[in-house]
Structure 1
Amino acid sequence: MFDLGWNPLHGAPSYPAERYSTLADRIGRILHCRGDILLVQAEAVVALEAAAVSLARPGLSALNIVSSPYGGWFGQWLLRGGATVRNIVAEPGLPIEIEAVAKALDASPHIDVLAVVHAESASGILNPLPEILALARSRGTVTVVDAVASIGGHRLEVDALGVDVAVIGPQKALGGPAGVSALSVSKRAWDLILKDGGPRDSILSLADLKSWVEDGRRGLPGTPAPLEFFALEAALDRIEAEGLEDVIARHVLAASATRAGLTALGAGTWVPAAKASNLVTAVPVPGELAPAGLIAAAGRLGVDLAAGAGAAAHLVRLNHTGPRAAFQTVLSNVAAYGTALRQAGHPADIAAASEAISAAYSP
């Protein structure tokens, strides 16, 4: 008989049902939100699709901001549900311009829903969220914000900004598991979701998840995945021990130090600091080089860099998200990129870059 022996992943204990409500409240505090928090037993793209499916229906008018593949998907989900969708597409790899949003809103007599991604991991850019939300709020438009990448790396005060639906995943800046996600839902959003009944009997139905709130937030529907919830609880423990403001400050510092290092290296950055996220810094590669070659050279040094995604495929991304928002990762990212440039025959002042990063981290 073949004996695999005991493994802690086999027969994991059930996650206590009474602690789901505590998890939701802790997420609400991170979001600065007093509205309903829903827990979704899946990666955050499922929560995003659930938001779109629950809102979309014939007669609904939506303005969808596309600055990455995720924004494009959201628009497709709305269309599939019968909504009338106008996409505003940003310049490739760049944040949306607030003037384009204002013009689109002014051109439409009524917009029910506006959807936008806060920070883009595909290109390292940051959309002007407060300005976008102010425009939408002045018109009574329900807002959906994909904050999966930004939460924990940027300040996001859901109630103060007037966000109606915020979708988050803990696997980025919060340093948690990828297999669970959450949404905040305002009363205005519920009114629209539940209008004419709303979709039911689906894993993508927020109306079905609302029954969890109405039933006292006890056991979640379906079969819970206990390991994911224990991991989420542990991630929230770490965030609360460090302090959310300090977590955000750590990401701000990592981004600032990365930009300083790249500038000293002679590589520059893709967008100025005001348009950049604190999670990923993108750098345009020299025209005759391919990102894949530079990424492979860095990989041989044990450093993981990545190409931009979608319209930003010509970029190389330096990741400083979550646990990676630290001096040693920032330094190794920039030094490895500089080494890759040198090996490709391009000058790179690695010593100056190292000094710039050290200076950024000096008290």
Structure 2
Amino acid sequence: MADPCWFPLLSLPPYPAERFAPLADRLAALLMTHNDLLLIQGEAMLALESVAVGLSRPGMHILNVVTSPYGLYFSQWLRRGGAQVHDAKASSGYPITLDAFDQALAAMPALDAVVLAHGEAASGIVNPLGEIAARVRQRGALLVVDAVASVGGHTLDVDGLGIDVAVIDPQKALGGPAGVSAISVSARAWPRLVTPAGYAQSCLSLAELKRQWLDRGRGALPGTPSAPDFWALESALDRLEQEGHIHLINRHLKAAQATRAGLRALGVVPWISDDACASSLVTAAPVPEKVDADALLADALSLGAALSPGVGPIARQLVRLHHTGAQAAFPAVLANVVAYGAALARNGHPADVAAAAAVITHHYLPLPGPPGDAHAEPTL
């Protein structure tokens, strides 16, 4: 009789050393890059901090785009290393505007690197990465991108955009484990990622990982890799390849479009009104004035919705409707919008739940109508 306290995940075999390099190559293909790809044995915050450690030192001039509290963390890590950091801060919960970025860029007498997040799960935004990348190339600076909340749900062409360092984690759109992350590093970035003396033997040293893994032929990773995390990452990539990357991106886009159409049918303007600036993984909806954020969220959660509060200063101003990974599908999208609308109504704010449900359903399963019928296809 099997031991009821023993779970199959606890008895997975070790992850074979010869599988690490092919796994890294699969992630590099996902990012559309020929750059080096490092596997990081930890959640993305570890990977991001390791980039800051390698990048920051006295004499470095870095422009850090802040569109969430995570951007402030990165700023602190950079300053700890002695770099001169200028934070280009967007309005709380919103993407950086190109005008604001251009002003910050023009104010930099010297520029070694620009750091920004592509997408922000904290508020459901995407920053204008393509336009920013072009401006950074013109200045000849390194471009460092946090793509954790965009990879898999948005197109990310690392080589085409000229991204020198990209940090990803499979836990969101890819539906993978949170315990493994990855960093792509360009050839021109390596000479500028210098490990401070105090980090010579640290797991935060990218140069040390390069020496111990890349330079030794990408065999066994240093330390004791977590077998469940690496098997899970491989399974997530298998699932991605079976679905197809383009289909995965389109599935997230459709979920975002249906969610935003449903909110508008409720009578609510999404937190990010411009569709071009909205994430495909998370949609933020406002907490109306005179509505208690805690009560609104509690009522929505009681209906089984995948909602959460905002992060940072905007925590009580919005709720986030998640349509990430497996949730980027009709059942979750419908449940989220209906629960949010029902919670609004319960807390005294008008919401047309029936109209929202009809719009979302029609978005996924259009009803037949006469040619030119405005209701034949949903509009955003």
Deviation at 1:20, TM superposition (A): 0.2
Deviations 1:158-189 (A, max 9, x none): 00001000000000000000011000000111
User: What is the aligned partner in structure 2 of residue 213 from structure 1?
Assistant: 214
Residues in 1 aligned to 2:345 and 2:232: alpha-carbon distance in whole angstroms: 41
Residues 9-18 or 146-155, more deviating: 9-18
Instruction: Specify the alignment match of 2:319 in structure 1.
Output: 316
Aligned to 1:269: 270
- 1:198 deviation in Å? 10
Measure, in 2, the Cα distance between the counterparts of 1:168 and 1:292.
Answer: 32
Mean CA deviation greater in 302-311 or 262-271 = 302-311
The corresponding residue for 2:349 is 346
Question: What residue identity is the alignment partner of 2:227?
Answer: P
1:62 match: secondary structure? strand
Give yes or no for contact 1:98–1:132 (8 Å, CA) kept in 2.
yes
Kindly provide the CA deviation profile for residues 184-233 of structure 1, in whole angstroms up to 9, marking residues without a partner as x.
00011102114898952110000011121111100001111101000000
Letter in 1 for 2:60: L
Distance 1:268 1:102 in 2: 29
1:136 equivalent in structure 2: 136
SS at match of 2:300: helix
Measure the CA separation in 2 of the matches of 1:6 and 1:244: 36
Q: Show CA shifts across 1:233-271 (max 9, x none).
A: 000000011001100000000000000000001122011
Are 2:53 and 2:195, in contact at CA under 8 Å, matched by a contact in 1? no
The alpha-carbon deviation at position 12 of structure 1 amounts to 2.8
Q: Which residue of 2 aligns with 1:258?
A: 259
**Which structure 1 residue ranges, 5 or more long, are not aligned?**
none
The AA in structure 2 aligned to 1:18 is E
Residues 164 and 197 (structure 1), Cα distance of their counterparts in 2 relative to 1, 3 Å cut: farther
1:68–1:311 CA contact under 8 A, matched in 2: no
8 A Cα contact 2:23 2:234, kept in partner: yes
Residue in 2 aligned with 1:282? Answer: 284
Cα distance change, pair 306–196 in 1 and its aligned pair in 2 (3 A): closer
Matches of 2:11 and 2:333, distance apart in 1:
39
- Cα distance in 1 for partners of 2:301, 2:92 equals 27
Equivalent pairs counted in the alignment come to 361
SS of 1:63 mapped into structure 2? strand
Letter paired with 1:246:
H
Distance 1:208 1:347 in 2: 58
Letter in 2 for 1:82: G
TM-score, normalised to structure 1, is 0.97
Measured in 2, the distance between the counterparts of 1:268 and 1:91 equals: 18
* Identity percentage of aligned residues: 56
Determine the C-alpha separation between the residues in 2 that align with 1:356 and 1:285: 22
Partner residue of 1:203? 203
**What one-letter code is carried by the residue in structure 1 that aligns with 2:231?**
F
The residue correspondences of 1:243-254 to structure 2 (distance < 5 A) are 243-254=244-255
1:229 aligned residue = 230
For residue 34 of structure 1, give the secondary structure of its aligned residue in structure 2. coil
Structure 1 vs Structure 2 CA RMSD = 1.5
Per the alignment, in what secondary structure is the counterpart of residue 183 of structure 2? strand
For structure 2, the 5+ residue unaligned runs are 367-380
What are the equivalent positions in structure 2 for 1:1-363 lying under 5 Å apart? 6-194=6-194, 199-211=199-211, 212-271=213-272, 272-313=274-315, 314-362=317-365
Paired residues of 1:98 and 1:128 also in contact (CA < 8 A) = yes
Distance 1:290 1:268 in 2: 18
Match in the other structure for 2:373: none
Secondary structure of the residue aligned to 2:8 is coil
Contact 1:199/1:207 (8 A) holds in 2: no
Question: Does the C-alpha gap of structure 1 residues 175 and 195 become closer, same or farther in structure 2, counting only changes over 3 Å?
Answer: closer
Please say if residues 67 and 96 of structure 2, whose CA atoms lie closer than 8 Å, have aligned partners that are also in contact.
yes
TM-score, with length taken from structure 2: 0.92
CA distance in 2, matches of 1:290, 1:273: 27
